[in-house]
Amino acid sequence: MNIIEVTDLTKSYGENEVLKSMDFQAQEGEVIGVIGKNGAGKSTFLETLMTIKQYDGGTVRVFGKELSSISSGDLEQVRRQISVVLQPTQFYKTLKVEELLQLFKKYYGSQVEVESVLADFKLEPHRKKYFDKLSGGWKQILSLAIAFLSQPKLLILDEPTTGLDPHMRNLLWQYIKEYNTRTGGTVILTTHNMDEVELYCDKVLLIDGGIDEIFVTTEQILKTGYRSINEFYLAKVSA
Ligand SMILES: Nc1ncnc2c1ncn2[C@@H]1O[C@H](COP(=O)(O)OP(=O)(O)OP(=O)(O)O)[C@@H](O)[C@H]1O
C-alpha cells in the first residue's frame, strides 16, 4: 500500500524555486533516506509530508488523503498516524526523562508502558535527569522514544544522527530498524551520512536542483559500478 504519493510537487520561497517537480511514492515498511546537498530542499519536502508546510502545485497524498484539500477531521486522522523527530530543542528543560515519557504517553493515549520504554531505550540510568542535562545523543534517543510512544505508521526524522558518536548512532539505528521490522512502519529520514544510507536504507530519494530521482534499492546503485553510496553521491551531485 502506498503511504505517500507525491506528483509534480512544486514549492518556492519568493523567487527561490526550491522544489521544481517532485514525484515520489513510499510503501508500507520502507526505510527511505533523503539525500542532497545543503539547501537542496530536503527539510522543505519532509515538512510538506509532515503536513506543516504549504506547497504551490502538484499533489501530495499521505495515507490516501490529498493534503491541499483535506478536511480538518481527516488532517487530524493523518497526523495521528505520523511521528516526527526534529533536532532536539531545549523546550522540555524543566521536565525529567520519566516525566516527559509519562506526559507524552498521556498525550498520545498510548498503551505502551513507560517502564518498558525506559528499558528498551536503555534510558533507565537517565530517568531522573532533566532533559537539558542530557547529552545531545541521549536527547536524540529520548526524542525517538517519545516518537515511538504513539506507535506511528509513518516516522519522519530530520537528520536523526547528526552529532552522535558511532555507538550512539548505531544504537539509534538499531531502534529504527527494530521498530520498522516489528511494526511494518515506514521511516523517511534525511541524512548527510552516506554510510548510513548504504547500511540501513531500502530506498534512496536524491534531491538535486529541485528535481528528484528515486533509487528503489541501494543495491541498484551499487550494481551500476559505484563502490559505495558516498562515491555515487559525489559523482552525481556537483559541489
Ligand atoms: N521559511 C523559509 N523561508 C525562505 N526560504 C527558506 C525557508 N525555509 C527554507 N528556505 C530556503 O529553501 C532552500 C531549501 O532549504 P531546506 O532547509 O529545505 O534545505 P535542506 O536540503 O534541508 O538543507 P540542509 O541539508 O542544509 O538542512 C534553502 O535555500 C533555504 O534557504
**Residue 93: pLDDT band with limits 50, 70, 90:** confident
Mutate which of 44, 48, 86 for ligand 1 pocket (most atoms within 8 A of beta carbon): 44
ipTM tops the 0.85 cut:
yes
pTM (2 d.p.)? 0.91
pLDDT at 29 > cutoff 90: yes
d(CA 102, CA 219): 41
Q: What is the pLDDT of residues 156-175, one digit of tens each?
A: 998 988 888 898 889 889 98
Mutate which of 9, 11, 16 for ligand 1 pocket (most atoms within 8 A of beta carbon): 16
Of all protein residues, whose CA lies closest to atom 17 belonging to ligand 1? 43
What ranges make up the beta strands (E) of the chain?
2-13, 16-27, 31-35, 57-62, 65-66, 82-85, 154-158, 186-190, 203-208, 211-215
In three-state secondary structure terms, 207 is strand
How many other C-beta atoms are found inside a 10 Å radius of the C-beta of residue 57? 13
What lies within 8 Å, CB to CB, of 151 at 6+ separation is: 110, 112, 183
Q: What is the pLDDT of residues 173-202, one digit of tens each?
A: 998 998 899 889 999 999 999 999 999 999
d(CA 180, CA 201): 11
From the CB of 210, is ligand 1 less than 6 Å away? Answer: no
Alpha carbon of 125 to ligand 1 centroid (Å) = 37
